[in-house]
Amino acid sequence: IPAGTLLGQTIGWRWAFGVMSLISVALLVWARLTLPALSAPGAAARQPLLTVLRLPGLRTALLAMFLFVLAHNVLYTYIEPFAALAGAAGWLDRLLLVFGVASLVGIWITGVWVDRGLGLLVVASTLGFIVAALALACWPGSPAVLVAATVVWGLAFGGVATQFQTAVARRAGEAADIAQSFVVTGWNLAIALGGVAGGVMLETVGERWLPVALLAVLVAALAVVLRQPRAWQPVLP
């Protein structure tokens, strides 16, 4: 994304999309030539969607994921007007770099602990995001708080895709491929609704209230996470 932005600023946004198209074509050719052919899934993996959705713990994991990603995108989509409250509009690129680096650390932490403590990771990520949102809600005009909260936010967000995908795969078993389609649909729906909700807030109550909306959604997400602990536990054979 930063590379695409730089390219667009340098030679124009049309060329950025053109380069993206060329890379996509190259990726298609590379995938066709190098990826192995896989056998068709067995009958156990070809289950109806509603049957998969009824698997114990699956809906809990999907709902928690949806709420977390919804909260993230309410603020992330409109981070520029919110950052302007703290006078950070001029160094927004560096703020997003901080978020990205913190997210990479969050991914690494998740990679180390996901097999041994998935439930703890999900709770910690949700609580961390709540702390960041609370700080931004209380001190929206402070640059120092903005930077610190962005670090915590990035740490919390970095590994959640892996965390929720792992939880869904565990609960779904042989139907994991079908269950992952729910992950993709829910994730993208949360992105879209987060953008809509944030835009409506900007037009009505203003960017100062974005973190307050995050808090409400994240508290609901934490309640979902804590309500059914087995959603984050390995499925016993």
In terms of domains, do 153 and 180 share one? yes
Q: What is the per-residue pLDDT across 164-184, written as a single tens digit (0 to 9) for each?
A: 999 999 998 888 888 999 999
Please tell me the predicted confidence (pLDDT) of residue 45.
Answer: 56
Q: How confident is the model at residue 89 (pLDDT cuts 50, 70, 90)?
A: confident
In terms of domains, do 90 and 8 share one? no
In terms of domains, do 25 and 56 share one? no
Question: Does a structural domain hold residue 84?
Answer: yes
Q: How confident is the model at residue 46 (pLDDT cuts 50, 70, 90)?
A: low
Average pLDDT, the chain: 91
In terms of domains, do 30 and 58 share one? no
Question: Does a structural domain hold residue 41?
Answer: no
Cβ 211 vs Cβ 85: under 8 Å: no
In terms of domains, do 112 and 81 share one? yes
In terms of domains, do 7 and 72 share one? no
Mean pLDDT within 74-84: 93
Q: Is 145 left (phi over 0), alpha (psi -120 to 50) or beta?
A: alpha
Which of the residue ranges 45-59, 139-153, 218-232 would you say has the lowest mean pLDDT?
45-59
In terms of domains, do 137 and 20 share one? no
Question: Does a structural domain hold residue 40?
Answer: no
In terms of domains, do 133 and 189 share one? yes
Token reading at 79: 């981070």
Q: What domain range is 15 assigned to?
A: 2-34
Residue 31 has pLDDT above 70, yes or no: yes
Name which of 92, 53, 59 is nearest 76 in CA terms.
Answer: 92
Residue 40 has pLDDT above 70, yes or no: no
Instruction: Give the Cα separation of 27 and 13 in Å (integer).
Output: 21
Cβ 225 vs Cβ 122: under 8 Å: yes
Please tell me the predicted confidence (pLDDT) of residue 176.
Answer: 85
In terms of domains, do 28 and 90 share one? no
Question: Does a structural domain hold residue 208?
Answer: yes
Residue 230 has pLDDT above 90, yes or no: no
Which comes out higher in pLDDT, residue 236 or 223?
223
